Structure 1
Amino acid sequence: MGTTAIFGAGVMGETLLSGLLRSGRAAADLIITERNAERAAQLAEKYDVRVLPNTEAADLADTLVLVVKPQDMEGLLAEIRDHVRDGNTVVSLAAGITTEFLESHLPEGSSVVRVMPNTPALVDQGMAGVSPGRHCTEDHLLEAEALLSSCGKVVRLEEKHLDAVTAISGSGPAYIFYVVEAMIEAGVVLGLPRATATELVVQTLYGAATMLKETHEHPTVLREQVSSPGGTTVAALRQLDDHKVRAAFVNAMEAAAARSKQLASGHA
């Protein structure tokens, strides 16, 4: 895979770096760039990897992973443009930055891959969507998929679907945390200590997710197994249906996808 440089060592940049190291990549093959000198020194000591300026990192890298904020992307591309060579793979994890935008700011024919990751990558349970640019070869796409596989699962799809991926898995952890907050609050309202309510909800979430993953049953089947006729669960679900919670979730994700598309339109 050669040398991989990660440009921007924020939360996601560090997550990817640590995932690569855990998956067996040699520290000698990894480079990071970080504007904050104090943080750069901490990361160099913690992971024993090289921390270099952007242009030097680009010169040495076979794979360039861009993990800067979307508003900083144009400046980074201008800085490294003349240091990107034929055969390099450029992987962007910045939300709303299209492959067309990346290609227009890099040398003609550059191989570009756009990625939408999510925060469970922090615990090696990420879900990333990857989409190739116009000049991306199969080998380069496989390389990008291998990078993201170091901290979770990867699905390959056309770039037109990335707004939906952003709405479902990119923003998805926040929806789950939102539901967990509500369930914990309900436990407290019903008289449980907050710590107990939290333990009950978190383990229930973990157990339900594990059932979905390991049984391969449709969620409707699993839900019906819990829902005895005339019982407590159907009484609760009736309230959720009366309040149109299912429709609200669909509407929320449509809004997230629309916002993602709007953000991307500024970087076409």
Structure 2
Amino acid sequence: MMKIGFIGGGNMAEAIITGMVKESFLPSEIYVSEIKKDRLSYLQNKFNINSAGEDFFETVELVILAVKSQVLFDLMEDIKDDINEKHLVVSIVAGIPSEKICKKLSTGHVIRAMPNTPSLIGKGVTVLCQSSDEISDERIAAVEKIFSSVGCYKWIEEDCFDAVSAISGSGPAYVYRFIEAMTDSAVALGVPRELAQSLVIDTIIGGSAMVKETGEHPRVLSDKVTSPGGTTIQGLQAMEKSGFSTAVDEGVKKAYGRSIDLSRGGE
């Protein structure tokens, strides 16, 4: 089995390792390099994985960069002489295009990945793109197995990455805010908060499942709920009058613009 090394042992690295261990990856094949000793000890004790030794790059074949974007370029400067054709580099670092990683590490074997926070509970969405068609099918399969262990994955072209960042990357926060707003409205109408939030969450789960499983357009499904002169049309019209769709559109575009800014950031 391919030996996998994480550089960085933060929350997302922990989420991925959790999924990997649950999905038949052997802890003995997983290595972590983490500068915080207490954090490293925690990961070792929790998963029975290996800490990175001096032979880290000689040992591992797949290197997962799981550090903050502001320290990535310093890290790559430190490891550039250790990366060679043996290694596949997978970056989960936000906002840094694979072209910059390839250039800094002098390799064409880079996969950029963007998992979102529901990966922490195995319900994540990860988008992937590869820097080169030269990456072997075996390595592609290994990456897919890693990210399927924390949810689902989608392969995309990298020029879509900033737009997708504003959807699946930032999207959980939009959902949380919608849940909060609907719950508060229900509480204002006299529904106990615990019940209100439970109803809102289950309604969102059910509605999302309907779109996914039926394959019907959301507008078609919405029409099936919306009776002439009924309550739903009144609610929808009030939301649109207050700018619901426009607010969502503007929010996504603003997040998209910020993602572009980060991608263009210098070293």
Contact kept, 8 Å, 2:27 with 2:48, in 1: the verdict is: yes
Secondary structure of the residue that 2:216 maps to in structure 1? coil
Secondary structure of the residue that 1:165 maps to in structure 2? helix
Q: Give 1:13 deviation, angstroms.
A: 0.4
1:22-41 residue pairs with structure 2 within 5 A? Answer: 22-41=22-41
Contact kept, 8 Å, 2:28 with 2:50, in 1: the verdict is: yes
Task: Write the letter of the residue equivalent to 2:121.
Answer: V
- Which range moves more in the overlay, 62-71 or 243-252? 243-252
Q: Give 1:216 deviation, angstroms.
A: 2.1
Give the Cα separation in 2 of the matches to 1:126 and 1:32.
Answer: 22
Give the Cα separation in 2 of the matches to 1:14 and 1:27.
Answer: 13
Is the aligned partner of 1:112 residue 2:110?
yes
TM-score (norm 2): 0.94
1:55-98 deviations in Å (ceiling 9; x for gaps): 64333110000110001111221222222121310000011111
Is the aligned partner of 1:67 residue 2:66?
yes
Q: Give 1:159 deviation, angstroms.
A: 0.9
Task: Write the letter of the residue equivalent to 2:4.
Answer: T
Secondary structure of the residue that 1:113 maps to in structure 2? strand
Secondary structure of the residue that 1:162 maps to in structure 2? helix
1:137-216 residue pairs with structure 2 within 5 A? Answer: 137-139=135-137, 140-216=139-215
Give the Cα separation in 1 of the matches to 2:211 and 2:56.
Answer: 42
**Compared CA separation, residues 143 and 83, structure 1 to 2 (3 A):** same
Task: Write the letter of the residue equivalent to 1:243.
Answer: S
Give the Cα separation in 2 of the matches to 1:207 and 1:248.
Answer: 24
- Structure 2: gaps (5+ residues): none
Contact kept, 8 Å, 1:116 with 1:165, in 2: the verdict is: no
- Structure 1: gaps (5+ residues): none
TM-score (norm 1): 0.94
Partner of residue 6, structure 2: 6
1:13-42 deviations in Å (ceiling 9; x for gaps): 000111111111111111112221112111
Contact kept, 8 Å, 2:84 with 2:107, in 1: the verdict is: no
RMSD of the TM alignment (CA)?
1.6
Partner of residue 18, structure 1: 18
Secondary structure of the residue that 1:217 maps to in structure 2? coil
Contact kept, 8 Å, 1:96 with 1:267, in 2: the verdict is: no
Contact kept, 8 Å, 2:69 with 2:93, in 1: the verdict is: yes
Secondary structure of the residue that 1:5 maps to in structure 2? strand
Is the aligned partner of 1:49 residue 2:49?
yes
Secondary structure of the residue that 1:155 maps to in structure 2? strand
Q: Give 1:146 deviation, angstroms.
A: 2.6
Contact kept, 8 Å, 2:4 with 2:30, in 1: the verdict is: yes
Partner of residue 126, structure 1: 124
Give the Cα separation in 1 of the matches to 2:230 and 2:133.
Answer: 57
Task: Write the letter of the residue equivalent to 2:35.
Answer: R
- Which range moves more in the overlay, 180-189 or 147-156? 147-156
Q: Give 1:138 deviation, angstroms.
A: 4.5
1:131-158 deviations in Å (ceiling 9; x for gaps): 1114752434443223211111111111
Give the Cα separation in 1 of the matches to 2:114 and 2:147.
Answer: 10
Task: Write the letter of the residue equivalent to 1:51.
Answer: S
Give the Cα separation in 2 of the matches to 1:87 and 1:52.
Answer: 17
Give the Cα separation in 2 of the matches to 1:103 and 1:135.
Answer: 14
